[in-house]
Structure 1
């Protein structure tokens, strides 16, 4: 693996700064850096509170360090600086200040030598995290006081101090700043790629009879049955699955939730629930049939649909949203860990969820209608009844 330079990371992070042109001030990245520093301290607190039971500590710290580095890069960029400008002076005093730029400066050259061969947080990690929080606090205070308005060197000095504290905190955590930067770049590509390339469909190599239909139009109808409002999904007037109610005292239209499975199929090429309903299980491979298309996978997809729906209800069923919270998408990824859908990038999950809810809102509004999916074009659409 080639050594990662500060310039390479800076360019990758800059491409995903969607607010760079609309919010050129330092306020947005400052708030972000402040928030990520608080999140890092929260991880320290969790580890102190329950050192044995807290799982995923190192991964969480790595992510928080990477996110803080991203906001630091955004701050430097808005100040017409680069991470390389900061890193070259990381261990310098004012008397040996270096104003030269180095595109080849690597993270490795700025790292501290490990104290011990084994990783893991040292006893000093808490103090280094607090020093980071202190430096970010001083940066925020000076900005609010207007001390950077006519003093770019003062701002540069503060940003260098934050980068130094980030480097030191990573070291005391038994990690490297480069590993945090690389993890952040993977997160960027997973969530905000430069180019969206759809992955191959999971059943592409299977017989056509074991594939999800590449084109499908189903009809949702609503009717009353024994005093309950029921939804039925049909294909060419043939029922698909059983009629559904909301299974809840309040009317929340969850009886139409098969729309979500259709959206999963359309965008992700994955829906064990729909595959079961259409009798398109991949029986030619017993392991795939049991694991990927089996009852547990179906329960996982149903669980995802229910969990997201509970979240969506608090947000007007995502009406008007063009993006979803990263935490929600990350939790969905954790739901499907160990299954083929784990390999779907987060941007694709976001696309499937938002498009699925757009169609779901239309079905609820018209209390039925037709829904079409195209797995080749990766789209789902609604046709009014």
Structure 2
């Protein structure tokens, strides 16, 4: 369906493009568990809203997102079962059904969750629980399975009505989120400094030597040189238990190479965009650099618990983790960078970090045109 309203079958097809559950687990287990989890998240949000009416932030947006995620798992389950999503809307002809047909009317906006909304969510939870409890016999009795799926959709529509959420809006937001994370085609966005003078651009290619040296006091420092000149400060771990954080500048170089963004690297290489005072102050200034250091510290803390992502590949990093990383830079130009690009920067930076932990020295190569950072042995 290509009209003004999105169709259920159309959404199912588009949602299936980001499905990473197929051929994993046992049959329908993973998407059904995901469905149950999303309904549980909805109930949790309502509980928090009731408990902390004034304190909770972004309740309406969270409900919209959770409804979209619930719908996604429902679409994936039907896709795995060979059932058209529109057939759950009592369409037996096989034709698509527009989302707008599910909600010809919906209630007025609510400031707090209504008692009815809570009851509907509990019924939705019961419907998903029944689906999960009988999943083993799903393929043996397709009619009963479809009836249970239909019940889930009906309660989902009712919950959306009572939350004043259009399921079509939730579906479109969900598709946008999955494309942000797992795109069909990876197209690099324009570089942020592409329209600035060359001397204010991050160098499109650059080599930086990073190595460790022991001082007379017995401490070990990390030094860096570029084109024969030392750059930056001598770095230590600055923590009671050493963890090699002194090599963390590779993360900044990865942000520069892959995202085309790094206020820290701009300051280090004296490539701030001074021709535009507002950009110089707002995007390349001290606050932006502190934000970037915060990102690097946060990523390092998470990566340390996962062997610095040694076994992770593009598409593997947690969606929540990547969203949290991007939230750090809200209000800055790099906030527009897609989550998949953030993941590439994080993975490439951690690859270089693991190399330095092992070798204690290396030559970093930045290729901003190719959005790549590599590392090799230092001659």
Secondary structure of the residue that 1:2 maps to in structure 2?
coil
Query: What residue in structure 2 maps to residue 65 of structure 1?
Result: 67
2:181 corresponds to 1:191: yes
Of 327, 345, 358, the match for 1:352: 345
Give the Cα–Cα distance (whole angstroms) in 2 for the partners of residues 251 and 211 of structure 1.
35
Q: Is the 8 A contact 2:157 2:167 kept in 1?
A: yes
What is the 5 A alignment of 1:43-82?
43-82=45-84
The equivalent residue for 2:331 is 338
In structure 1, C-alpha distance between the alignment counterparts of 2:109 and 2:299, rounded to whole Å: 43
Q: d(CA) in 2 for partners of 1:16 and 1:135?
A: 25
CA deviation string 1:308-347 (max 9, x = no partner): 1111111111111122111111111111111001000000
Distance 1:223 1:117 in 2: 63
Q: Which residue of 1 aligns with 2:226?
A: 235
Q: Mapping of 1:209-358 within 5 angstroms?
A: 209-225=199-215, 226-322=217-313, 323-358=316-351
Aligned residue pairs: how many?
373
Q: Is the 8 A contact 2:213 2:221 kept in 1?
A: yes
CA displacement at 1:121 relative to structure 2: 4.2
Q: Helix, strand or coil for the counterpart of 2:20?
A: coil
RMSD of aligned residue pairs (Cα, Å):
1.5
What does residue 113 of structure 1 align with? 105
Aligned counterparts, 1:14-25, within 5 A: 14-22=16-24, 25=27
Separation in 2, partners of 1:178, 1:224: 61
The runs of 5 or more residues in structure 2 that have no matched partner are: none
Q: Give the CA deviation at 1:115.
A: 2.6
Asked if the contact 1:119/1:175 (under 8 Å) is kept, the reply is no
Q: State the shift of 1:169 in Å.
A: 1.2
Which residue, out of 369, 374, 377, partners 2:367?
A: 374
Quote how far apart the aligned CAs of 1:119 are.
Answer: 7.4
Show structure 1 runs of 5+ residues with no match.
90-97
Residues in 2 aligned to 1:116 and 1:17: alpha-carbon distance in whole angstroms: 34
In 2, the alpha carbon distance for the partners of 1:2 and 1:202 equals: 34
Q: Report if the CA contact (8 A) 1:370-1:384 is conserved.
A: yes
Counterparts of 1:380 and 1:289 in 2: how far apart (Å)? 25
Question: 2 CA distance for matches of 1:120 and 1:294?
Answer: 41
What TM-score, normalized by structure 2, do the two folds share? Answer: 0.95
Provide the secondary structure at the position in 2 that maps to 1:243: strand
Aligned partner of 1:29 in structure 2 is 31
Name which of structure 1's ranges 116-125 and 237-246 shifts more when overlaid on structure 2: 116-125
**1:115 to 1:241, Cα distance in 2 relative to 1, 3 A:** same
Q: Structure 1-normalised TM-score? A: 0.94
1:122–1:174 Cα contact (<8 Å) kept: no
Alignment of 1:77-156 (within 5 A): 77-87=79-89, 89=90, 98-103=91-96, 105-111=97-103, 113-116=105-108, 121-144=113-136, 146=137, 148-156=138-146
> 1:166 and 2:156 equivalent?
yes
Equivalent residues of 1:203, 1:211 under 8 A apart: yes
Shift of the alpha carbon at 1:44? 1.1
Contact 2:206 2:366 in 1 (8 A): yes
CA contact (8 A) 2:109 2:163 kept: no
The answer as to whether partners of 1:221 and 1:233 remain within 8 angstroms in 2 is yes
> Structure 1 residues 218, 102: closer, same or farther in 2, change over 3 A?
same
Quickly say closer, same or farther: Cα 1:117–1:136, change in 2 above 3 A.
closer
The answer to whether the 8 Å contact 1:216/1:373 transfers is yes
CA positional deviation for 1:377: 0.6
CA contact (8 A) 1:241 1:277 kept: yes
